[in-house]
Amino acid sequence: MSAGTPVGLVLARPPRLLGAEPFFLEFIAGIEELLAEHDRSVLLHVVNTHEAEIAAYRRWADNRMVDAVVLVNRTVEDVRPAVLREIGLPAVVAGEPEGDTPAVRTDDVGAVREAVAHLSRLGHRRIARVSGPTALIHTRIRTEALFDSMRSASIEPVVLEGDYSEESGAKLTAMLLERPDPPTAIIYDNDLMGVAGLGAAKDLGCDVPGDLSLIAWDDSSMCRLASPPLTTMSLDVHLFGQSVAASLLELVEGGPVAERRCPTATLIPRGTTAPASTA
């Protein structure tokens, strides 16, 4: 593998989300920072479908444009790992591993448990979650962890599927609050849906955190600048990207790739969580 050849990252998601959602910008910055020290960079391509993503991999492999790729957002019936093996394009998975493909894992189970424990200590028993797409493996892991954590407390959560967008965060929050038995707490799978949910709750006259507590995944400046500031599950996304870059460098150099895990997201209490209302 030649020094200076980039590594590839294809994101199959609407381009408008990439500009609005801070996660991938920080993730890419972490990868770039470490790769730059080794005279490498990231070749980024944004597409709308996994079919277009696979076409990009084939094009890159045919033209030897990248030495390896980062595979993100693995799905339940994911054909991408098999395609990458078929075309001989090395990969590092960001998230749950697939076969013997190197991966940098995240602890979604531990983070969900911490979020639920925080809300339970505050007396919340009607807890809902606005999730990411259910086809994603990490979404299903979080959902299973949520049900397991709440089953021990004899609580039955409500989970609605979102798509990480501002629109889905607002719409699903309104749906939850218009139920006959609205939740006293909602967990969101990303910051954009959480901030939009906060706005929707305010529009409906709901007092946050007096009537409703909110927790959002992926701490970002938009969470800190919200009014009130959002309580979050904070993952060091920059470090996550650096860890992926370290595995990529080991992979393209032909040596063994160390097993790496991103530290568990930690709870950052702010102004959107409080004891459950007794009204």
The predicted structure's pLDDT at residue 224:
94
Query: Residues 146, 177: one domain?
Result: yes
Query: Residues 131, 212: one domain?
Result: yes
Query: Residues 101, 118: one domain?
Result: no
Query: Residues 117, 212: one domain?
Result: yes
- Mean pLDDT lowest for which of 1-15, 130-144, 198-212? 1-15
Asked whether the predicted pLDDT for residue 171 surpasses 80, the reply is yes
| pLDDT range class, residue 19, cuts 50, 70, 90 | low
Query: Residues 125, 146: one domain?
Result: yes
The predicted structure's pLDDT at residue 1:
46
* Mean pLDDT, rounded, for 202-223: 95
Residue 119 lies in a domain: yes
Residue 269 lies in a domain: no
Q: For all residues of the chain together, what is the average pLDDT?
A: 93
Query: Residues 209, 252: one domain?
Result: no
Residue 168 buriedness (CB in 10 A; 0-12 / 13-18 / 19+):
buried
- What's the total number of domains in the chain? 2
CATH code assigned at 215: 3.40.50.2300
Asked whether the predicted pLDDT for residue 31 surpasses 90, the reply is yes
Query: Residues 56, 155: one domain?
Result: no
Residue 159 lies in a domain: yes
Query: Residues 189, 78: one domain?
Result: no
Query: Residues 124, 92: one domain?
Result: no
Task: Using alpha carbons, select from 196, 149, 147 the residue that is nearest to residue 174.
Answer: 196
Domain stop point among 213, 234, 255: 234
Residue 8 buriedness (CB in 10 A; 0-12 / 13-18 / 19+):
buried
Residue 276 lies in a domain: no
**Residue range 48-105, pLDDT digits in tens:** 999 999 999 999 999 999 999 999 999 999 999 999 999 999 999 999 888 889 999 9
Percentage of residues in the chain having pLDDT higher than 70 = 97
Q: Among positive and negative, which fits the CA dihedral 59, 245, 76, 216?
A: negative
The predicted structure's pLDDT at residue 63:
95
The predicted structure's pLDDT at residue 21:
75
Phi first, then psi: give them for residue 143, nearest 5 degrees. Answer: -65, -45
Residue 279 lies in a domain: no
Whole-angstrom distance, CA of residue 248 vs CA of residue 68 = 7
* Mean pLDDT, rounded, for 135-163: 91
Residue 13 lies in a domain: yes
* Mean pLDDT, rounded, for 175-201: 96
Task: Using alpha carbons, select from 18, 27, 69 the residue that is nearest to residue 235.
Answer: 27
Asked whether the predicted pLDDT for residue 3 surpasses 90, the reply is no
Let me know the angle formed at the C-alpha of 274 by 271 and 279, rounded to the nearest 5 degrees.
130
- Domain span at residue 178 reads 108-234
Q: How does DSSP assign the chain, residue by residue?
A: --TT--EEEEEES-HHHHHH-HHHHHHHHHHHHHHHTTT--EEEEEESSHHHHHHHHHHHHHHT--S-EEEES-BTT--HHHHHHHHT--EEEESS--TTS-EEE--HHHHHHHHHHHHHHTT--SEEEEES-TTBHHHHHHHHHHHHHHHTTT---EEEE--SSHHHHHHHHHHHHTSSS--SEEEESSHHHHHHHHHHHHHTT--TTTT-EEEEES--HHHHHSSSPPEEEE--HHHHHHHHHHHHHHHHTTSPPPPEEPPPPEEE--TT--PPP--
Query: Residues 136, 195: one domain?
Result: yes
Asked whether the predicted pLDDT for residue 5 surpasses 90, the reply is no
The predicted structure's pLDDT at residue 97:
85
Residue 270 lies in a domain: no
Asked whether the predicted pLDDT for residue 279 surpasses 70, the reply is no
Query: Residues 162, 101: one domain?
Result: no
Residue 278 lies in a domain: no
Query: Residues 116, 218: one domain?
Result: yes
